Amino acid sequence: EVQLVESGGDLIQPGGSLRLSCAASGFTVSSSYMHWVRQAPGKGLEWVSAFYFGGTTYYADSVKGRFTISTDSSKDTLYLQMNSLRVEDTAMYYCVRALTGSSVFHYWGQGSLVTVSS
Amino acid sequence: DIQMTQSPSSLSASVGDRVTITCRASQSISTHLNWYQQKPGKAPKLLISSASSLQSGVPSRFSGSGSGTDFTLTINSPQPEDCATYYCQQFISTPTFGQGTKLEI
């Protein structure tokens, strides 16, 4: 059974850094197509970043240069390193698995809440 | 980025009605369109992929259609458990979502 469990969300001041983790089970993260999708409180969904089998990474313009997606194959874990955080980065961050290189989001974690506020 | 526009933003229906939610893309996306259901406090769930492919386990009262720029999610005889917000999403390029449609039964 595929499971995705996010952790690492917290209250952080603007300009700070945070790393989200997504522990996967039922499949191998490093040979999959993994994404982060976020949702600001009371708002819609926004794609953030992707890590593709083979190591190619993609980022939304809103986070490019500040966020880094990566995996640890020994732990079957996906990460999102978030630097220079802004108030507008406040959101629930979902770890998502697509079954192919197309961005069809088949499996979702329960989310990890990041709040950026002074 | 391709803009996705859903209508209506919210609607109320009764059991036995037929519910239609529309999604329009700012440019042609062929059938690269997915629909998700999100219940309060929960993660989204994939209902339909590639405009019309119903995911395993999704009730047959849900259906999707369309191609190019105009798409429709239809719920025949919605049930109380269908109360949720529905999102469309294109995946022909950098993925983008519609703003959501909140359905009350």
- The partner residues of B14 in beta bridges, in order of sequence, read none
Residue segments in chain B with a per-residue pLDDT below the cut of 70: none
Is A110 in Cβ contact with B89 (below 8 Å)? no
Any B CB within 8 A of A113 CB: no
Q: What are A29-87's pLDDT values in tens digits? A: 988 999 999 999 999 999 999 999 889 999 999 999 999 999 998 999 999 999 999 99
Mean pLDDT to the nearest integer, A6-16 = 97
CA distance A27 to chain B (A): 19
Interface of B with A (CB under 8 A): 32, 34, 36, 42-46, 49-50, 87, 89, 91, 94-100
Least CB–CB distance from A105: residue in B46, B96, B99: B46
What pLDDT shows up at residue B52? 97
A positions 68-87 inside 8 Å of B (CB) = none
Is A47 in Cβ contact with B97 (below 8 Å)? yes
DSSP string, B42-77: S--EEEEETTTEEPTTS-TTEEEEEETTEEEEEEES
Q: How far apart are CA A90 and CA A113, in angstroms?
A: 8
Any B CB within 8 A of A59 CB: no
What pLDDT shows up at residue A101? 85
Is B98 in Cβ contact with A105 (below 8 Å)? no
Contact list, B95 vs chain A (CB under 8 Å): 47, 103
What pLDDT shows up at residue A27? 92
Bond from prior residue into A14 cis (ω within 30 degrees of 0): no
* CB within 8 Å of B27: residues ≥ 6 apart: B2, B69
Is B87 in Cβ contact with A104 (below 8 Å)? no
What pLDDT shows up at residue B16? 85
What pLDDT shows up at residue A30? 84
DSSP string, A16-62: --EEEEEEEESS-GGGSEEEEEEE-TTS-EEEEEEE-TTS-EEE-TT
Residue A14 — very low, low, confident or very high, per pLDDT cuts 50/70/90? very high
